[in-house]
Amino acid sequence: MADDLGDEWWENQPTGADSSSEASDGEGGGDTEVMQQETVPVPVPSEETKQPKECFLIQPKERKENTTKTRKRRKKKITDVLAKSEPKPGLPEDLQKLMKDYYSSRRSVIELEELNLPDSCFLKANDLTHSLSSYLKEICPKWVKLRKNHSEKKSVLMLIVCSSAIRALELIRSMTAFRGDSKVIKLFAKHIKVQEQVKLLEKRVVHLGVGTPGRIKELVKQGGFNLNPLKFLVFDWNWRDQKLRRMMDIPEIRKEVFELLEMGVLSLCKSESLKLGLF
């Protein structure tokens, strides 16, 4: 009998879930519910929900590539223009225009007008059919007689100005038919010191000089080279280097040429004792 009552007593007792339910109906039920809400763990986002923020590395990379492509395109465009441009012989107007552009920011309008050279000081321009020897023979048919009468040291009768030492050597080799027995001096900086060239000019009479404007200018500045006896000044105007640049297309060379012109060449041209040629 006791065992039956014991079983009946246990069966009538409320379970744990029922106890909680009853407790929630009491005064402390609200606090318990709030506590359960506050302690609910925040769900951890899955790998799919972890979306990366917008990547800003892509755009700069594309911009860098675009910049590189733009630079290559610009460089190629310049080359194309030079390569496709038809060779045109240099004219006196070309030199006059370059002089005006160069001095426009340095001189007044009146001073610019004084720089204009008379047409009579220009020799016939090369029509791109001549070799150097044939061109020199055309502009100076009396060369043999002229050089025989030349006896002044530290000077030359004809000066050929080019862009580099290598080009100067090429010109000297190509003028063999014209120069004959004339004495030629190399007037460039490569492997030759200024003082060595000054001694050569003081030692003997020279008829022809071939060199760069920078070294010629330095020789004049040091008093080792006199421009007054000069009769012909020829610019290697039309020749182009590997980058298709002419002598006057190179800013450094162009600057030195105009500085050389200011050292007495322009005044000699205006007095018509000196002639300019564009080969």
Q: Is residue 159 part of a domain?
A: yes
Q: Give pLDDT, residue 116.
A: 85
Q: Is residue 137 part of a domain?
A: yes
Q: Is residue 56 part of a domain?
A: no
4-13, 69-78, 125-134, 152-161: which is most confident: 152-161
Tell which wins on pLDDT, 31 or 97. 97
178 conformational bin, left if phi > 0, alpha if psi -120 to 50, beta if neither = alpha
d(CA 184, CA 175): 10
Residue 251: φ, ψ to 5°: -55, -40
Task: Kindly tell me if the per-residue pLDDT of 222 is higher than 60.
Answer: yes
Q: Give pLDDT, residue 279.
A: 94
Confidence of residue 36 (pLDDT cuts 50, 70, 90): very low
Q: Kindly state the average pLDDT of the residues 29-40.
A: 46
Confidence of residue 66 (pLDDT cuts 50, 70, 90): low
Q: Give pLDDT, residue 17.
A: 42
* DSSP-assigned states of every residue in 46-60: PTTT-PPPPPSSHHH
Q: Is residue 31 part of a domain?
A: no
Q: Is residue 44 part of a domain?
A: no
| Residue 147, domain extent | 88-278
Confidence of residue 75 (pLDDT cuts 50, 70, 90): low
Confidence of residue 139 (pLDDT cuts 50, 70, 90): very high
* DSSP-assigned states of every residue in 73-121: HHHHHHHHHHHHSPP----HHHHHHHHHHHHTTTS-HHHHHHTPPPGGG
33 to 15, 38, 56, 231, 250: CA distances (angstroms): 20, 9, 46, 114, 88
Q: Is residue 242 part of a domain?
A: yes
d(CA 140, CA 137): 5
Q: Is residue 219 part of a domain?
A: yes
Task: Kindly tell me if the per-residue pLDDT of 86 is higher than 80.
Answer: no
- Percent of residues, the chain, with pLDDT higher than 90: 55
Q: What is the reported pTM?
A: 0.70
CATH of the domain at 218: 3.40.50.300
Report strand pairing: 208-211 vs 275-278.
Answer: unpaired
Q: Kindly state the average pLDDT of the residues 71-90.
A: 64
Q: What is the pLDDT of residues 173-188, one digit of tens each?
A: 999 999 989 999 999 9
Q: Give pLDDT, residue 168.
A: 96
Confidence of residue 106 (pLDDT cuts 50, 70, 90): confident
Contacts of residue 94, Cβ cutoff 8 Å, sequence gap at least 6 = 237, 278
**Per-chain mean pLDDT for the chain:** 80
Q: Give pLDDT, residue 4.
A: 46
DSSP 8-state code for residue 41: P
Q: Is residue 110 part of a domain?
A: yes
| Domain count of the fold of the chain | 1
Tell which wins on pLDDT, 245 or 3. 245
Cα four-point dihedral sign 134, 136, 142, 143: negative
